[in-house]
Structure 1
Amino acid sequence: MPTHQLKQLVDALHPLPNLAWDDFVRIWQPFSAKRKTLLTVAGEREHYLYFVAEGVQRVYYLDEQGREATLVFTYAPSFGGVVDALMLQQPARYFYETLTPSVFLRASFTDLQAVMQQHPAVETMIRLGITQALSGVLERLVELQCYSSTEKFRTLLRRSPHILQVVPHKYLANYIGVDPTNFSKLINSVKG
């Protein structure tokens, strides 16, 4: 049940008083998407915060030459979407795409904003979630600037041991910054 998963995630971030939880859980609507569905398109506004109940998604950047940079993967149980665009109410700079069939709960920015204004505990929980995400981004920047491909891959496997089973290898190669043809060599070198 997605609302049970949502409650567990919220409790891990910052447990909400009963009334705040009741109002918060009411703003979420079920949503599902097929594999390879663009949920957010760069240049357009992000309208929703997603809670991932099933499936795997990625946020990626596409440059003028058509090169992709996979920035982050999302999977259950976690929040997803292009959160900076949502919270700043600016056009997204990134794409949010399903890699597998996915099941979500999603909340509109308008509803999220209203419940945060009504319940400071909800705003605190969202702030803590965003702060944890920022901490992860800063760790990722260190990895990108200081780690070898092998170290990036080992770190990814420590953080998400199941990732090889759920994310297509071409996206993992892109995330690490290696050519997909060399990715199997990287897997063998790390496992060996």
Structure 2
Amino acid sequence: MKEILKVITNNISPLSEEEWQDFHQIWKPFSCKRKECLSPVGKREDNLYFITEGLQRIFYEDQEKEATLIFTYPHSFGGILDSFILRTPSKFAYEALTPSKFLRAHHDDLEKLSLKHAGIAKFIKIGITGALAGVLERQVELQTFSSEEKFRKLLNRSPHILQMIPHKYLANYIGIDPTNFSKLINSIKL
């Protein structure tokens, strides 16, 4: 598992051998069951996750509506980043949609290493900037794209997602009723 973490980390921002030796030691195996909440609303996010198996989502929920914001899956990082970085209670929940396995690192350990190693601080900065870029791109999609365009963009970004994620969550992510999602799939040539 840590070999894959090294490849992904180096694709974001290469670490020296010394930095890697310190960095990989803080990542601990963790697993959870289907529908288990990894980070509930109102609790501060203390961990950054590296997904090795399974599928998860970050969502917002109030009494009337639920909005799926992000999907995470193998070989990506996950967690409620704003809560993790700002050390504030989360407004969002992070839930496993399938049984899942991770490597996870605690905030305090990452913070210590980012102060000790410039390469790790750079890796964190580039990772956060990439996450922000993704959020801004998603905001443009939500405000300017039709349902069909949002769906096509999602499939271009993550072509495997249609087989991985239950359609009710994909419909929610796109912002349409699940019954209309079937019509959308049938109307688009994939």
Q: How many percent of aligned residue pairs carry the same amino acid?
A: 57
Distance (whole Å) between structure 2 residues aligned to residue 153 and residue 191 of structure 1: 12
Runs of 4+ residues deviating >3 angstroms: none
Measured in 2, the distance between the counterparts of 1:165 and 1:66 equals: 28
SS state at 2:188 partner: helix
Q: Which runs of 5+ in 2 are unaligned?
A: none
Match of 1:140 in 2: 138
Q: Confirm whether residue 62 of structure 1 aligns to residue 85 of structure 2.
A: no
CA shift digits 1:92-126 (9 cap, x unpaired): 11000000110000011111111111111101001
Superimposed CA distance per residue, residues 18-70 of structure 1 (whole angstroms, 9 cap, x where no aligned partner): 0001000000100000110100011111110000011110000012x241100
1:121 corresponds in structure 2 to: 119
- One-letter amino acid of the structure 2 residue matched with residue 154 of structure 1: R
Task: State the match for 2:173 in structure 1.
Answer: 175
Give the secondary-structure state (helix, strand or coil) at the position aligned to 1:21: helix
1:77 is paired with a residue of what secondary structure? coil
Q: Tell me which residue corresponds to 2:109.
A: 111
Q: What is the rounded CA distance, in whole Å, between the counterparts of 1:8 and 1:84 in structure 2?
A: 25
Question: For 1:132-163, what per-residue CA distance to the aligned partner results, in whole angstroms no more than 9, with x for missing partners?
Answer: 11111111000000000000000000100000
The one-letter amino acid of 1:7's match is: K
- Rounded Cα–Cα distance in structure 2 between residues aligned with 1:5 and 1:186: 36
Whichever residue aligns with residue 22 of structure 2, its letter is D
- Structure 1, gaps ≥5 residues long: none
